[in-house]
Amino acid sequence: MPYSMTGFGYSVKSFDEYEIEVRIKSLNHKGIDISVKGPRDIVFFIDLDIRNTIKSFFERGSFQVYINIRYTRPKQLLNIENLKKALESAKDMLNQLGLNVTDDKMYEITSSLASEFEEETVDEQLKKRVLEAVKEACENLKEERKKEGEKLVKDIKERINSIQENLEKIKAQKDKIIEKAKQRITEKVKELLGEEYSERAFIEATLLAEKMDITEEVVRLESHIQRFKELLKQDKPVGRKMDFMCQEMHREINTMGNKMPDFSPYTVEMKTQLEKIRQQVQNIE
């Protein structure tokens, strides 16, 4: 069964030193668009991995990913080895200048210098845990999109059945309507040209009736409806195909309405239902 493109996925993982929270909001989109927000010192290094994880679950949609890391213990901001290097550099610099400073001031200077030694790296274990949380949020989001998709499919089925019912009414009446149209045209021609032109009237009426024939449109619309129902059963992205089928069905319904205005009550209702289907299809992956 097709999936919706709208939904919300959530994951939270707790560890001794921190808690990772991931929220993913999904909306409809023609392709796939991903926005990732979170701590710069983490997201900067795993942004591509996050995007690839989402793409492994979904083919279409606009995704807003929010990552939050709450530390339950003080985060070690500076590497101890870099702190030692900075301390030696600070002492050497102060000795050359002949200055003496307090321990607090020395730590301030040392910390500032130590940050220059720090490399922009991310803890591999933290990176792995964040990606695991993203994967779990994607799994939850996929389940939500499935549930929403079931609701969409149920509504679409009811509307496609309504279109089919109206088409059956047209099929049952079209021959009778055409025959009545031929009679009206024949009588009109006779009235204008005279009874002696009855044969000419019959020929003209027959030619006009042929132009009114909607057999081809009926057959094509039946085929489109059947194909659409098959798409509703598939468990893979079919939104684009459904949108295309809606365009094809609209073309056939519109042609039928133009050829045989007598059926306008049916064709208008069919187009109304089809437009609502197209709106729903925009949310299907």
pLDDT (0 to 100) of residue 204: 64
pLDDT digit string (tens) for the chain, length 285 residues: 889 999 999 999 998 888 999 999 999 998 999 999 998 878 888 999 999 999 999 999 999 999 999 987 655 555 566 667 767 777 777 777 777 777 766 666 666 665 555 444 457 888 999 999 999 999 999 999 999 999 999 999 999 999 999 999 999 988 887 777 767 766 666 666 666 556 665 666 666 666 778 889 999 999 999 999 999 998 888 999 999 999 999 999 999 988 888 889 999 999 999 999 999 999 999
pLDDT (0 to 100) of residue 194: 60
User: Torsion angle of alpha carbons 192, 194, 195, 199, nearest 10°?
Assistant: -70
From CA 22, how far away is CA 4, in angstroms rounded? Answer: 21
The answer to whether residues 78 and 114 touch, using CB atoms and an 8 Å cutoff, is yes
Q: At what angle do helices 80-97 and 103-117 cross, to 10 degrees?
A: 120
From CA 162, how far away is CA 27, in angstroms rounded? Answer: 28
From CA 12, how far away is CA 159, in angstroms rounded? Answer: 40
From CA 60, how far away is CA 58, in angstroms rounded? Answer: 6
The answer to whether residues 264 and 229 touch, using CB atoms and an 8 Å cutoff, is no
- Which residue, 147, 167, 152, 145, is CA-closest to 277? 152
DSSP letter string over 205-236? Answer: HHHHHHHH--HHHHHHHHHHHHHHHHHHT-SS
Residue 196 DSSP code: G
The answer to pTM > 0.95 is no
Taken in order of first residue, the domains within the chain and their CATH numbers are: 7-74+122-147 (3.30.230), 80-117 (no CATH)
pLDDT (0 to 100) of residue 201: 59
Helices (H), the chain: 40-57, 80-97, 103-117, 124-193, 198-212, 215-232, 239-259, 264-281
pLDDT (0 to 100) of residue 120: 46
